[in-house]
Amino acid sequence: MSDDLLETGPIDFLVVEFPGNRMTGEGLPLLLDLEDRGIIRILDLAFIRKELDGTVVGLSMSEVDDGGLDITLFQGASSGLLDDEDVAEAASAVEPGCSAGILVYENRWAAPFAAALRRGGAQLVASGRIPINAILAALDADEASVQATTGEES
C-alpha cells in the first residue's frame, strides 16, 4: 500500500435528496468551509434529477441552481471513484420528481487516527450511521415510555 493511501482518512458518501428539484445552494458554502478547514476533502460531487417516469438525468454544474454560490468551485471534484453504477444505485434511493446531490468525501480529521491503526495492523470491519430521524424517534419513544410508566406529562 502506498504511503498516500496509508495516510488517507475514512471515505464516506452521502446522497442528499431535494424534493421538487428545489436546490437552494444553502449548504454549499458550509461544504466548502469544511474542505477549506481541512476537515474533509471532496473527492466527487455529482447532481442528478429523477424524472416523474423514473428516468435519471445527470446534471452539469451549470444546470444546478446554486443559490448565488459559484458552483464552479466544485467543478474539479471528480476523483473517478463515483461511476455510473454508483450513480444508478444512488438514484434508486431518490423519489421521482426530485433532484439529488451525490458526495464522496474523505474524513481528513480522522486520517491520523486511521493511519495509526493501519500501521498497527488494525482494519475496519464495520461502520455505519444512525440517521437523525431514528435518534429522534428513539428519544420520543423513550420519553413516551417514561411518561406511561410514571404517569407524568412533559
Nearest alpha carbon to residue 104 among 42, 61, 150: 42
Residue position matching grid coordinates 451549470: 62
5-22 burial: b if 16+ Cβ within 10 Å, else e: eeebbeeeeebeebeeee
Q: For 101-116, what is each residue's pLDDT tens digit?
A: 999 999 999 999 989 9
Q: For 49-66, what is each residue's pLDDT tens digit?
A: 999 999 999 887 767 655
- The whole model's pTM is what? 0.77
Nearest alpha carbon to residue 86 among 58, 127, 65: 58
Residue position matching grid coordinates 458552483: 71
